[in-house]
Chains A and B, each alone.
Chain A
Amino acid sequence: MPTDPRYDYSLREPRVPSLPGWSPEDGEVTMDVRLDLYRTLHELRQFEKRAYDLFMQNLVKGTSHLSLGMEAVAAGFGVAMREDDYTFATYRGHAHSLARGMELGPAMAELLGRENGILGGKGGSMHLTDAANGMMGSYAIIGAHLCIANGAAWSAKLRGTDQVAVAFFGDGTTNIGAFHEALNMAKVWELPVVFVCENNLYMEYTPIDFVTAVSNPAADRAAAYGLERIVIDGNDADVVYLTATAAIERARTGGGPSLIEAVTYRSGGHSRADPGKYRPPEEVEAWKGHDPIPIYHQRLLSLGTPEDSLSAIQREVAQAVDAATEFAKLGSPPGPESLFTEVWADGGSSWRN
């Protein structure tokens, strides 16, 4: 039995959603955007659910980190970003990849380790990348990619393209040195970069407040880098979209970096192996009542969208996910010749003559 009472989870105060959701004073969101958000939310949800089912069938090997319950952050930003903007994500990057336009089939095939995967089976779940769509990579050792996003933002500035780089990361990342190095340099160089902390309240298996000196792991650090303190409801797609639009616009027009803390919650565990038992049941229940998809469904209904239109979108997405699954299952395992390709830019791996 652990001696530290903090590890008696029955004593833990459940942390329940408390941030305000969207209201008209927050700004207008057009119906086209809203339907795009709705479709994206469903695409991410249904893809991740299917990925989970495929793990259970042992078709997905290794590990995988799902964004179930956290889709509104990826969707809100994905819809707000310009086609040529840059996304940098962590190992929990399926949602961020799809939200930038990665095709479902090649994404699913990559999880299955197939030749027709977006990375030819060489990267896997934790490294989804689609450079042609501005998805510049999923980085599995947290922190580094904030520094790399700075580089892409610096490059955009040098090339005069007014592109913006957006880096997504979890609450746990705020305690690694690269987070602090990246924020400082971004501010000193006034880079067009947006840092988005998805605070799902747990760094892997440990409550973030056990291991962090401040209660809002990202926002409470903002002042140290001359940045505004921003905490939002990360489960409200409209709130995320409007916040994203403002931060991206600011970066695009020379206003420099932003740091956004989007509070959200994983429906499941940290990774494939984790049932998430360390969370108080009341907390899990409370967040089920604050799931981004029912919130958005209700909002669209209340704004007059017919139920039929919404269910049609759901059906289309379901068909697309089925088709992606078939595409993935039909893929061959990568052939041995690909083992030695693409170490170098000449396509090969030779290190000697």
Chain B
Amino acid sequence: MGGRGVELAELSYRDAVAYGIAQEMRRDPTLVMLGEDIAAAGGVFKTTVGLLDEFGPDRVRDTPISEQAILGAAMGAAMTGIPVIAEIMFSDFIAVCFDMLANEIAKSRYMTNGQVSFPLVVRTANGGGARFGAQHSQSVENWCMMIPGLKVVAPSTPADVVGLMAASVRDPDPVVFFEHKSLMATSAEIPGGEIIDQLGTARVVREGDDATIVALALMVPRAMEAAEQLAERGISAEVIDVRSLVPLDTQTILDSVGKTARLYTVEENPRLCGWGAEISSIVGEEAFWDLDGPIIRITTPHIPLPAADSLEDLALPSVTRIVETVVESMDRA
């Protein structure tokens, strides 16, 4: 990460989005963005505030409620030399334009044997905890992870939002960038100066010896808090923030499992085919003999998300559920 030795500033996850986009739009005068309510309104999550004023209406464009037209415009512009950031307001709406993402953007490079490139980023607000119900709360990063040709990123901190945004924009391939709705209000210090991170790199955010907990986005702070509580009960947990699902940093995970001999994934996806299933499969195939116990996935049950706070809290993996699952499974050993 850049910015070493530069003064730190406190930034919210929400503000980090516009901060990261602005950094890239200043660097590359050809970079444009489009989406619903992103210009004058500053985005429904206020993640694009100030961009219209700084970069003007030609580079920051409001669109109709036409997700296929949004991603189509992004694709057509990207393949003809204009890098684009497109916003799909809620990640659930990816279902409305999945043809664009899954069939057109992801596959056209391969189908044309490399004749065209797609330097584009699809940003979208992902995840639960906001009591929005089943159609505005899903974690759909696994929908994108399963499509060859898409890169998939889901930052958990303001600094990662900025650094991974820069990496995504500068990547010549299509990247789906998941911003977590329930992290918007969180804040942290970020270094001054230009911040550039790297796709395909997981981060060990807490070191430990007894168990590896792999988490993503909102599940990272929950895993961290769970690790604190586990420490009080004598279990030393290592926490890994996956950050990037495609490319996937399997080495950091395999190294950690080699040390702790236990793997837990904490996923907001419903149970079937969440990203943790792929990581479990890789660890099962490649590090089976390092393991002292079964790999355990902690996920949202295989249900649509409910709206009521009491129900949604039961559905999403909680700190308590993470702690209890780890403790129970270690006790069984």
Contact = CB atoms under 8 A, between A and B. Distances in A.
Contacts of A338: 113
Contacts of B30: 158-159
Given A127-B111, A353-B251, A144 B104 contact: yes
A346 B149 CA distance: 12
Given A151-B78, A345-B172, A144 B112 contact: no
Interface residues of B, number: 48
A178 B251 CA distance: 42
Chain B binding surface, main DSSP class: mixed
B275 to A, nearest CB: 12
Interface string B81-104: 110100000000000000110011
B111 A130 contact: no
A127 B173 contact: no
B55 to A, nearest CB: 12
B64 interface: yes
Interface in A142-180: 143-156, 158-159, 165, 177-178
A46 interface: no
A349 interface: yes
A137 B125 CA distance: 31
B234 interface: no
A123 B248 CA distance: 27
Interface string B228-255: 0000000000000000001111110000
Contact of A123 (B99, B111, B148, B251): B111
Interface string B250-271: 1100000000000000000000
Interface stretch (A33-41, A181-189, A288-296): A181-189
A121 to B, nearest CB: 8
Interface string B108-119: 111111111100
A343 interface: yes
Given A144-B100, A155-B76, A158-B32, A185 B247 contact: no
Interface in A322-353: 338, 341-347, 349-353
A149 B111 contact: no
B75 interface: yes
15 contacts: A119-B112, A120-B113, A129-B108, A129-B115, A131-B116, A136-B79, A137-B108, A147-B75, A151-B76, A151-B77, A151-B79, A155-B76, A177-B68, A343-B149, A353-B251
